[in-house]
Chain A
Amino acid sequence: MSALLEVRDLSVRFNVGDAELNAVRSLSFDVSEGECLGVVGESGAGKSQAFLAALGLLADNARARGSVRYRGREILNAPRRELDALRGRRMAMVFQDPLSGLTPTARIGHQLEESARRHLGMNARQARGKALEMLETVRLPDPRRCLALYPFELSGGMRQRVMIALGMICEPDLLIADEPTTALDVTIQAQILRLLGELQRDANTSIVLITHDLSVAAAFSDRIMILYNGRLVESGTTHEVFRSPKHPYTAGLLASLPSLTIDPASDLPTIPGQPPDAMKSVQGCAFAERCKHAMDRCWSERPVLAAPGAQHAAACHLLSA
């Protein structure tokens, strides 16, 4: 598999008053062609900002540094015209809240057709046909009627299907889904995850699933990346990471999930403390203050990701101790 997206040493900083907030700290990873990559982290881990930076969608007070290559071509901080040719066409994003991702005052059909006309150069009739075809693909009930509806007339699950149709209409190489099921009920979540899985299988689209929910990532991705405080702390095949987590943070997260296989009579192990403040910079390992294995070295020296690109790697001094 060749790399579709190569991210190297990516940093994202926000200016907040006179202070600086480091959302992403020298992050490096690849997204391969046709893979499902799960990106997991708690709030403030930098998981969304890393991908917004890659697509050039950062807020005005943010700056991105490093390198993001799409099929070998540098796209980080690229001019808008260049990005416009890629966004929507080659790379698309689906957001958590489908209501804010859709234009409230335009009919569903119009929004889909606009994308088909702009990116695929279709005429009005072709675009209408394509829009209908996409609504059928995402299995929206009564697709013909939906074309004429406004986003507020649909339920949350149906809106998320429309968002996915909008993301997939140009058959992009890469679909970034940012918490696509977080706002949905569990039975609807199961429907949407299955739909994404089918689209990935049928169109060979690479899918990046950004989520705070390890279970959703496990249920969906081939490979998984765990972020903490803007850095990659563990990455590997989903199988390996869940079978034998290497980083104490990953292990702690997995142990603290009340899964259906635990004994509810005994107390869940927890990770003490809370996620770190992105405003502060840490000299050593950002997880040290919550880690039961922390050693002297962890406070002074930042662990690096051992063997990046390997099947399974983690950034922790325990692994080299």
Chain B
Amino acid sequence: MTTPLLSIESLCVDYEQRRAGVFGSRTQTLRAVNGVSFELSEGETLGVVGETGCGKTSLGKAILQLLPLAAGRVVWRGMDLARADAKMLTGLRSELQIVFQDPLSSLNPRMPVGEIVAEPLRVHAAGMSARERQLAVSGMFERVGLRPEMTARYPNEFSSGQCQRISIARAMITRPKLLICDEPVSALDVSIQAQICNLLRELQRETGVAILFISHDLSVLRYMSHRVMVLYLGRLMEIAPRDVLFENPRHPYSRALIDAIPEPAPNANPLDRADPLPGEIPTALDPPSGCVFRTRCPIATPECAQTSPQTENVSESHHVACHHWRC
């Protein structure tokens, strides 16, 4: 087997939370990502789904070394990123890019959008002449569906859909090998969402970029991903090829998420649907013992409170962390 592009091994991310008290402050550790492992290949999209606090954004940031790792390794094309020095990391950033959820706030409001898109080239392709940069930017603008003469305008002159196109242009201009998309269409109008999804798919077909697509929306995720990973409270619940996960989910949380998707079909009365998952997501400061999902799980047993389930293989490409996946 060839080396995967990206290999994540038992990744953990911690946040320190200081709580003020009468007798001085004390620090609590919140583990946002807990022992997550997966691999990503060239030209592949891995969808990451989960609800608030499942660690999906922290995971993306940790891969890019924007957050320190508490444990585990991020291996990029065979190299452990923790061993890379600052200079090497800067060089690698042209290969690893990110697109954020809020298109407007991730663009510098005081910079013309052409400059925003050209900036990665100034850093990563310092040998380029101004003329070459300009040509590259115009080409990129056209590629993402914006008119090249728009480069002199400022971000506030664009709609949110156009801003997201600009973010994608900025990310793709260095021809990255990995693009992390953190809820890239969640803030967009319905009619614009499909445009941006299709743009990302086209760019992947053309350049072979691998995409880590983070979203809370399973319908969008299904359309975008080759494989899907389900996270809950920082832990990996299930990872499987798209069709396997949607047609035959083994983890009760995956099943509940799929059942909770409202389908755009008439007569889908909420009272006729499967019972929604009860309760709320517990705080990551004090996660449940054993399996973190057990407090909301319809099939939890006493065993689930005692031991944390190991990730088991349903098949070579399908892994699940549940004591009862065989049920």
- Decide if A218 touches B263 in the complex (CB within 8 Å): yes
Contacts of A189 in B (CB 8 A): 260, 262
Please give, as numbers and ranges, the residues of chain A lying within 8 Å of B161 by CB-CB distance. 274
B197 on the A face (CB < 8 A): yes
A300 CB, nearest partner CB in chain B, Å = 24
Question: Which of B195, B256, B262 has most chain A Cβ within 10 Å?
Answer: B262
Task: State whether A267 and B51 are in contact (beta carbons under 8 Å apart), knowing that A194-B271, A218-B265 are contacts in the complex.
Answer: no
Q: Is the CB of A269 within 8 A of B267?
A: no
Docked-complex contact A219 and B191, CB < 8 angstroms: no
- B261 near A194 with CB under 8 A, answer no
Q: How far is the CB of A99 from the nearest CB of chain B, in Å?
A: 14
Interface residues of A in 178-199 (CB under 8 A from B): 185-191, 193-194, 196-198
Asked whether A213 and B262 contact (CB < 8 A) given A158-B280, A188-B280, A271-B191, the answer is yes
Q: How far is the CB of B27 from chain A (nearest CB, A)?
A: 22
Contact across chains for A270 and B261 when beta carbons are under 8 A apart? no
Contacts known (A42-B191, A264-B242); A187 close to B223, Cβ less than 8 A: no
At the interface, is chain A mostly helix, strand, loop or mixed? helix
CB-based nearest A residue for B160: A43
Assembled-state Cα–Cα distance A258/B217 (Å): 10
Question: Could you tell me the distance in whole angstroms from the C-beta of A214 to the nearest C-beta in chain B?
Answer: 5
Per a CB cutoff under 8 Å, which of B193, B218, B277, B279 touches A190? B277
CB-defined contacts of B268 to chain A, threshold 8 Å? 218-219
Q: Is B15 positioned at the interface, with any CB of A under 8 Å from its CB? A: no
Tell me which residues from 253 to 272 in chain A have a Cβ below 8 Å from any Cβ of chain B: 253-254, 256-262, 264, 267-272
A-B CB contacts (within 8 Å), total count: 152
A224-264 to B contact mask, C-beta < 8 Å, 1/0: 00000000000001111111000000001110111111101
> With A191-B276, A219-B269, A270-B198 known to touch, is A262 a contact of B264 (CB < 8 Å)?
no
Report A14-57 CB contacts with B as 1/0, cut-off 8 Å: 00000000000000000000000000001100000000000000
Q: Is B69 an interface residue (CB 8 A)?
A: no
B51 contacts across to A, CB distance below 8 A = 185-188
Output the nearest chain B residue to A268 by Cβ-Cβ distance.
B194
Chain B residues 185-227 with CB under 8 Å of chain A are 189-195, 197-198, 201, 216-220, 222-224
A contact residues around B280 at 8 Å (CB): 155, 157-158, 188
| B198 and A274 form a contact (CB under 8 A) | no
Nearest chain A CB to B278's CB is how many angstroms away? Answer: 8
Of B193, B266, B277, B296, most A-chain CB atoms within 10 Å: B266
Number of A residues whose C-beta is below 8 Å from B? 55
Chain A residues with CB under 8 A of B279? 141
Q: Which of B224, B260, B269 sits near A186, CB closer than 8 Å?
A: B260
Kindly list chain B residues whose C-beta atoms are within 8 Å of the C-beta of A290: 191
Closest chain A CB from B65 CB (angstroms)? 28
Whether B30 is near chain A, meaning CB under 8 Å from some CB there, is: no
**Given A215-B264, A267-B201, A258 and B222 touching (CB < 8 A)?**
yes
- Which residue on A lies nearest to B162, using beta carbons? A274
Which positions in A face B, CB cutoff 8 Å? 42-43, 141, 155-158, 185-191, 193-194, 196-198, 201, 212-216, 218-220, 237-243, 252-254, 256-262, 264, 267-272, 274-275, 290
- B residues at A contact (CB < 8 Å): 51-52, 159, 161-162, 189-195, 197-198, 201, 216-220, 222-224, 242, 246, 256-271, 273, 276-281, 296
